[in-house]
Amino acid sequence: MHDISHIRDFLPCVTPPAWVDWALEHPDILLIDHAHCEKKAASTAINLMFRYVDRPELLDTLSQLAREELLHFEQVVQLMRQRDVTYDHMTPARYAKGMRQHIRTSEPGRLVDTMIVGALIEARSCERFAALAPHVDAELGRYYRYLLKSESRHFEDYLKLAEQYAQGPIAERVDFFKAVEQELIESPDDEFRFHSGTPKGNGWLRMDN
């Protein structure tokens, strides 16, 4: 398995074991929401390319990222078809919105915060694929392990862009969004999603930092 120790070191907490159990109880929703997440990741990257046309490094990085996310979308949809899982609309988790509501509205803060949130989402996705891989069927486990390298690189890409475009240190903003992310991951949710928190009535395990 691709080494993601740097991802685990970056994230403020581990995925609660209760979430993994919840995912295994909802294999169809897991695949459907995973497909939505890949499509949204590509859309986010493309929208940022339209917004920041004067940032060549961002354009180069996010164009490749968008292509990879769309490829992953196609791959997940193919897995769903093989398993007779119907792709359909699904309400999103509160996860991404919960972080994006704290993004600053003026530049360059808006750009920097957007890149930090992107890094956290990619890091959490990578960590969750690794958490799921040993517990799902062999085919899906292989696919989740395959995704680790690209998701890890996407995390690094977003964080590098945040550092590049900031007009000073970003550690304070990173820590702020880590705290928001931890609350979203460790607090209970009514519905299972790929980025949902814990099922109501279950505890969780914190990561020592």
- The reported pTM is 0.94
Mean pLDDT of the chain: 94
Query: Are the beta carbons of 16 and 185 closer than 8 angstroms?
Result: yes
| Tens digits of residue pLDDT in 133-154 | 999 999 999 999 999 999 999 9
Question: For the chain, which domains are there?
Answer: 15-195 (1.20.1260.10)
138: burial class by Cβ within 10 Å (0-12, 13-18, 19+)?
Answer: exposed
Amino acid at position 168, single letter: G
Please list, residue by residue across 45-59, b when 16 or more beta carbons sit within 10 angstroms of its beta carbon and e when fewer do.
bbebbeebeebeebe
Q: What is the spatial distance between Cα 174 and Cα 40, in angstroms, rounded to a whole number?
A: 22
What's the mean pLDDT in 21-29?
97
